Amino acid sequence: MFYKKSFQALREELKTEGNTEHIVEVELRNDPDNEHSDSGKAVAVYIRHKKVGHVPEWLAPKVFDQLEPEGGTVTLGARLYLDYFDAKPQKNSVTVTLDSRLVVR
């Protein structure tokens, strides 16, 4: 719900009403100043320069620590699901595809 405007902008850019999947690039960026992170190691998720969410808090410290030596950012492939704008609740989602640049254990 926090990123509803970002998902709407992506719907417009991708010329879809919703209920569609898209293969996209995501940028994971360390977000150490995020006040909502209990660990202080939040990782933001961006698609086409729009913040669409964060890596879940339980996983963020592991990702954060791997990104830090790489300048705090990495670009990976992902699946983006865009729900209809007026769906209640909206079920937009991003599923990141891991490769050798990011290992989660």
Domain coordinates in residue numbering, the chain:
4-96
pLDDT surpassing 90 at residue 21: yes
Confidence of residue 83 (pLDDT cuts 50, 70, 90): very high
Residue 67 is predicted with a pLDDT of 93
Give the closest residue to 99 by CA, choosing from 81, 73, 75, 71: 75
Q: What is the DSSP string of 66-91?
A: HHGGGTSEEEEEEEEEE--TT-SS--
Summarised one tens digit per residue, pLDDT across range 40-77 is 999 999 999 999 999 999 999 999 999 988 899 999 99
Phi, psi of 100 (to 5 degrees): -65, -15
Query: What's the CA gap between 46 and 58, in Å, rounded?
Result: 19
Question: What is the number of other CB atoms lying within 10 angstroms of the CB of residue 9?
Answer: 16
Residue 38 is predicted with a pLDDT of 93
Residue 13 · residue 32 · CB < 8 Å: no
